[in-house]
Structures are given as structure tokens and as C-alpha cells.
Amino acid sequence: MAGEKKSRAKSEQVKGKVKEAAGRAVGNERLEAEGRAEQAKGDARQAKEKAKDVFKH
């Protein structure tokens, strides 16, 4: 299950980067902001999972 959550965090980060790049390419600030938000969400999820691993071992 932890692996699933880690991959979910990574996919959110990647999806956010793609959205941000697409928004920048077409000049859509809203899409760009959504991409940054998704990246931040993925970063937070990844940090949470890393913290769990530290305390687990």
C-alpha cells in the first residue's frame, strides 16, 4: 500500500508539471496555477510518505 501512495504522489507531481507546461505554452495562467498546485500536493504527499518510512524503520 505504501508503494501505491508513493507512486500516486509521483504521478501527481508529473501531472502537475505537464499541466503547468501546457498552461505556459498556451498562455493560460489558470492552467499553469493548477499545475503548480498539483505539484505541491504531490510534493506534500511524497514528504509525508518519506516521513512515515523514517519512523517505520
Q: Give, for all 57 residues of the chain, the pLDDT tens digit.
A: 567 888 888 999 999 999 999 999 999 999 999 999 999 999 999 999 888 888 876
Q: In sequence order, which residues have a C-beta less than 8 Å from that of residue 26 and are 6 or more positions away?
A: none
Could you give the CA distance from residue 53 to residue 57 in angstroms, rounded to a whole number?
A: 6
- Res 1: pLDDT: 53
- Res 57: pLDDT: 66
C-alpha cell at 31: 492552467
User: Residue 14: how many CA atoms within 13 Å on its side-chain side?
Assistant: 6
Size (the chain), residues: 57
* Intra-chain end-to-end CA distance of the chain, in Å: 16
